[in-house]
Structure 1
């Protein structure tokens, strides 16, 4: 047996019948061989002593805020709320009397030394934070924490928006009466309506939340590269860059170190303010981008209405002065380019393009006749190649047609069962062969002898349950629905102990947000042969955090029926074990709420292992080919819709991070190290080839 990253990709013997056909009647499982001649390997949604929580809401425990910082954070929050209430304009470089985004430095993180001879060397992966995690993992966890806060605030704003609009409609008669009433009456009503109009910037609230809990990754401004952020990394909002610390303001285009850094250790001979990062997003009409050389327009004087026009002259202060001082000091500056993107929830995608230096600066009259400050920046040598060219965004492009795929061995492994075809490619084997030995089935098949509980009472909502504050299904989830729909994309707000969706007895429509995981395949995927891990799955589309990928399908069996059998595609349904926190499993949100109601008889005594499993050895969908990773981009979520038995919950896979086109999908199989024992009683060790920075080096 070849060494593989995961047991999920080990193949069973080919069968002479057509590979991708409808499921045949289930034969009873074969009897166990005598004696244990093979391993019974099961992959679980959770594992014993799991080192990495498969959640996009991970973050370090919040530190208690200090007395000195509390007032400053409050002022920052008030600024963000005020900007949000007024409706933020297009992001650009804005001049102001204060220094927005400046926060009290955290002394535990030392600044990267300035190298005047060239770029500041890339910081080491472990920058002394003492977390025991790689810098890349800390970046990922910070973005997951931001996403969780962001989706919570999206949901909160949608609820507030609906309540405000209903109240305004209810007062419509009052407004008409007020028109003819005493002086000032109409104005008072309109002011009241404006005050109740919801904010459209949940990202700003998420920034505030991260700042309040000291969850910003690099709160102290740094010069040069930041650990864990590589050239070519992409961000889907300015808010994401703020919580990482790569660019510390959500609106200004120039980020700089203010006068409070003057005289600090490592900065004694430097002139402040000093620029650290700029964002180029096409706001200024005088900007000129030649990839390795940039002519950059200073901040101020722009109307910020999206028409790129200067309406007044700029002044040599704040960011403009910081860029001039950076030329004199010779320090490198991070450059981030922003481009329009239909796949981004903000309509923009931002790419970190590495370090540049200011080599010249001058003053001239702009295209509109106003004084503007100009800066010429050149990219430092020895860095990875650019992924942007001038102002056109380029990256690895997914194929447009299946027939032109190199190494195509199957047009659609689902045989038309899925919403979208899933091609299979093989550039590894000679001759290339398709995946074989199983029958594709998009839905779960129930083995003989297993009885599914009857359907429970459903909600009586009309249309979408999100518009009904008394929805029964929302109450099952703790008061709020587990999903939020933003720009027509349903996303899970956070991983939960169990998600209750609307089912057959609910009166809401098919497109209800609380049926998000029931909508079938929504993304273009490809099954492909890897060099060292067998078959894998990658996406052609951008997938946002919280988006459902698929259900893990196969044959629902009792776990005891498979004991002693070699089965490399078996998934334990361990929702109840996770809710109870058994065997070292971490509890998720909602565990305490659900247990007393769902399983009072088992509250003190619980089965030692999952009672049911999903066997995808001979029947299943593309989920059987998704590989393991110690740093996965998917997580497992148990979902219930028609009944309340968590032991028989559906096993769903959701996106934990933003997954870009042509990235491989992966989740943590959940094996505890040294948990697999061979027939001779010796511990079996299987190397892991996932390649993650925090790889455990072994699958089990």
Structure 2
């Protein structure tokens, strides 16, 4: 029996921060937690909880990293070596003072204000930890940042960041692409390279910008091809190249995504990633999501409506991209290692030049050129609170995108 127990293990229900706190309080060393003889007496500030001032000095109530909240101490400003945390604390304080139309910083904060600042600090710390987790999980060059300067909303619950499609039960994703023999796929494509083998044209120019109309398929070179990783016909498979920021919107649209770089027109930005499920399962989940208030179902109906991508609980940064009636992103169907036309990869490309700091959006009810019979669209069950469970009897939902061409309603 004892031998069997040696291979048993269960997940730890205590966070790393709580474990570090226990180690420091019990004066224990732990290499994995970074608590050792050299730094066990080091005191690092987690966040600032409260503020008061006297004639002699300003004081901050400090939450120390690795120590319980009940062990916070008041410290004079001159003793603190955390200028960024002090600056952020006063930004939050000034915003709260303006909200109550107060011009001067009081000598002592009331309980309501200090409680708000404490909650704000805790949320910011949780978002920083989530940001670190997202960047640890991602497999693409582009970094992810998280900002909430609007409310006390923390990281989303029941959401797992993934980099590629997760195949649902009963679905087989066969890699059946045929590789090309090109030495230079752009200048000297043999038999039209991979797009030509599928009777389609090359989708990108030499700068990696898409040059075909929305609705037409993109066939990239794949693992079977002789060309190298720098081939100009490999764009989407290289992943997100841009630094992007998940931010809290100010007009009740929840989270959004903005770019931290200038983006040229027709540039790949991100994929729409989630769990691949059957349309029957999507119908079942759609009813559940309607009752919960929102859904992230995306039909893969390039040739037939068989599969759907569900990004509600498994997804990447596209999960947080908002709708606009005048979007700056457009969807394209992309095929790489798998050429099953029922299972395209959904890539979002810029429709125009996008400024650094601008929010990224796409149209949840996008319209493809009516002359194109090939298209991809967002499932009509992509909805918000108040919609009935039946997808055929939906109420009109007000759109808050704010564009000049706003249709006023999402559905």
Q: Same fold (TM over 0.5)?
A: yes
1:477 Cα offset (Å): 5.9
Superposition pairs of residues 499-514 of structure 1, within 5 angstroms: 499-514=218-233
CA contact (8 A) 1:413 1:440 kept: no
Q: Give the corresponding residue for 1:438.
A: 159
Q: Give the corresponding residue for 1:522.
A: 241
Rg: which structure is higher?
Answer: 1
Pair 1:492 & 2:210 matched? yes
Q: Residues 129-148 of structure 1: CA distance to partner in whole angstroms, max 9, x if unpaired? A: xxxxxxxxxxxxxxxxxxxx
Q: Residues 587-639 of structure 1: CA distance to partner in whole angstroms, max 9, x if unpaired? A: xxxxxxxxxxxxxxxxxxxx5xx210111111110001000000000000010
- From 634, 659, 665, the equivalent of 2:360 is 665
| Pair 1:505–1:679, CA change in 2 (3 A) | closer
In 2: Cα distance, 1:645 partner to 1:505 partner? 16
Q: Give the corresponding residue for 1:320.
A: none
| Pair 1:611–1:460, CA change in 2 (3 A) | same
Instruction: Report the secondary structure of 1:563's partner residue.
Output: helix
| Pair 1:422–1:679, CA change in 2 (3 A) | closer
Superposition pairs of residues 90-489 of structure 1, within 5 angstroms: 409-410=127-128, 411-412=131-132, 414-416=134-136, 417=138, 418-430=140-152, 432-462=153-183, 464-470=184-190, 471-476=192-197, 478=199, 480-486=201-207
In 2: Cα distance, 1:446 partner to 1:421 partner? 25
Q: Residues 634-672 of structure 1: CA distance to partner in whole angstroms, max 9, x if unpaired? A: 000010112332111111111111010110000011179
1:501 Cα offset (Å): 0.8
Pair 1:686 & 2:389 matched? no
In 1: Cα distance, 2:354 partner to 2:313 partner? 29
Q: Give the corresponding residue for 1:548.
A: 268
Q: Residues 57-89 of structure 1: CA distance to partner in whole angstroms, max 9, x if unpaired? A: xxxxxxxxxxxxxxxxxxxxxxxxxxxxxxxxx
In 1: Cα distance, 2:353 partner to 2:156 partner? 28
| Pair 1:548–1:17, CA change in 2 (3 A) | farther
Q: Give the corresponding residue for 1:575.
A: 302
| Pair 1:574–1:413, CA change in 2 (3 A) | farther
CA contact (8 A) 2:195 2:218 kept: no
In 2: Cα distance, 1:560 partner to 1:503 partner? 31
In 2: Cα distance, 1:684 partner to 1:466 partner? 49
Q: Residues 660-698 of structure 1: CA distance to partner in whole angstroms, max 9, x if unpaired? A: 0110000011179xx777258853121100001010001
In 2: Cα distance, 1:542 partner to 1:422 partner? 16
1:517 Cα offset (Å): 1.0
Instruction: Report the secondary structure of 1:458's partner residue.
Output: coil
In 1: Cα distance, 2:209 partner to 2:352 partner? 12
Instruction: Report the secondary structure of 1:506's partner residue.
Output: coil
In 1: Cα distance, 2:327 partner to 2:393 partner? 29
Instruction: Report the secondary structure of 1:466's partner residue.
Output: coil
Where do 5+ consecutive residues of structure 1 fail to align? Answer: 1-15, 19-405, 577-606
Pair 1:647 & 2:365 matched? no
In 1: Cα distance, 2:389 partner to 2:336 partner? 40
CA contact (8 A) 2:223 2:337 kept: yes
1:436 Cα offset (Å): 3.3
In 2: Cα distance, 1:636 partner to 1:691 partner? 21
CA contact (8 A) 1:552 1:624 kept: yes
In 1: Cα distance, 2:132 partner to 2:328 partner? 24
Q: Give the corresponding residue for 1:628.
A: 323
Pair 1:558 & 2:285 matched? no
Q: Residues 82-140 of structure 1: CA distance to partner in whole angstroms, max 9, x if unpaired? A: xxxxxxxxxxxxxxxxxxxxxxxxxxxxxxxxxxxxxxxxxxxxxxxxxxxxxxxxxxx
Instruction: Report the secondary structure of 1:644's partner residue.
Output: coil
Q: Residues 262-300 of structure 1: CA distance to partner in whole angstroms, max 9, x if unpaired? A: xxxxxxxxxxxxxxxxxxxxxxxxxxxxxxxxxxxxxxx
| Pair 1:420–1:683, CA change in 2 (3 A) | closer
Superposition pairs of residues 578-617 of structure 1, within 5 angstroms: 607=304, 610-617=305-312
| Pair 1:637–1:682, CA change in 2 (3 A) | closer
CA contact (8 A) 2:186 2:206 kept: no
Q: Give the corresponding residue for 2:99.
A: none
Instruction: Report the secondary structure of 2:135's partner residue.
Output: coil
Between the two structures, name the one with larger relative contact order (CA 8 Å, sep ≥ 6): 1
In 2: Cα distance, 1:478 partner to 1:459 partner? 14
Instruction: Report the secondary structure of 1:414's partner residue.
Output: helix
Q: Give the corresponding residue for 2:100.
A: none
Instruction: Report the secondary structure of 1:513's partner residue.
Output: coil
In 2: Cα distance, 1:407 partner to 1:560 partner? 40
In 2: Cα distance, 1:699 partner to 1:612 partner? 23
| Pair 1:693–1:412, CA change in 2 (3 A) | farther
- TM-score in terms of structure 1 length: 0.35
In 2: Cα distance, 1:466 partner to 1:649 partner? 23
In 1: Cα distance, 2:185 partner to 2:133 partner? 35
1:453 Cα offset (Å): 2.9
In 1: Cα distance, 2:132 partner to 2:409 partner? 33
- TM-score in terms of structure 2 length: 0.58
Superposition pairs of residues 31-42 of structure 1, within 5 angstroms: none
Instruction: Report the secondary structure of 2:318's partner residue.
Output: helix
1:433 Cα offset (Å): 1.6
CA contact (8 A) 2:326 2:403 kept: yes
